[in-house]
Structure 1
């Protein structure tokens, strides 16, 4: 049985979500990890192996693109594409609805 690919289904995993969000402005790998760590107040950390595996998938799906380096030829720099931004916006709305569902469920339980 083939593995479920959330990107093909139009849903983002948490790691894909945070990478796309961090790449609204172009960054290299280490800065992506640092940005996500700061953005989430150290609640969500990504290791290099997971990050680069996800970056490969995001590149293949054309949700991010590689752009010119930062001067150090060994550092690849990435940025979210228009397609990536559109999917990110849809996913933000999906997550917003998930929170609404949870709030309704908690409210009903408290009645």
Structure 2
């Protein structure tokens, strides 16, 4: 599997502990990324559509809230696998970069 985009990785991470609706996902992504990733509505739903098409996310339920339907999404087993692989890839990259920074030029 190809590496995940930063927004996709954070969306999967936001769903790793509980199903969430769109606004909840966007808020959790902001928290997890310490504000570095802010998802606009179009971006968020584009990412969710792609992750759903790839089988990494699936619909969980719908609830009516203040006259509007909230659609909840949850991570799948394949999504957990992809997120685990992405975390390992990023950790390996970080180790390689830190090792390179530790080398002092002659």
TM-score by length of 1: 0.86
Q: Which residue of 1 aligns with 2:24?
A: 31
| Structure 1 residue 42: Cα displacement | 1.3
| Structure 1 residue 70: Cα displacement | 3.3
Tell me the distance in 1 between the aligned counterparts of 2:98 and 2:104. Answer: 10
| Structure 1 residue 110: Cα displacement | 6.1
Q: Residue 68 of structure 1 is aligned with which of 45, 61, 84? A: 61
Residue-pair matches, total? 103
Structure 1 stretches of 5 or more lacking a match?
1-8
Checking the alignment, whether the CA contact within 8 Å between 2:26 and 2:39 is kept in structure 1 is yes
TM-score by length of 2: 0.89
Tell me the distance in 1 between the aligned counterparts of 2:32 and 2:105. Answer: 32
Q: Which residue of 1 aligns with 2:34?
A: 41
Asked whether 1:11 is paired with 2:3, we answer yes
Checking the alignment, whether the CA contact within 8 Å between 2:62 and 2:70 is kept in structure 1 is yes
Asked whether 1:21 is paired with 2:16, we answer no
Q: Which residue of 2 aligns with 1:87?
A: 82
- Structure with higher strand content: 2
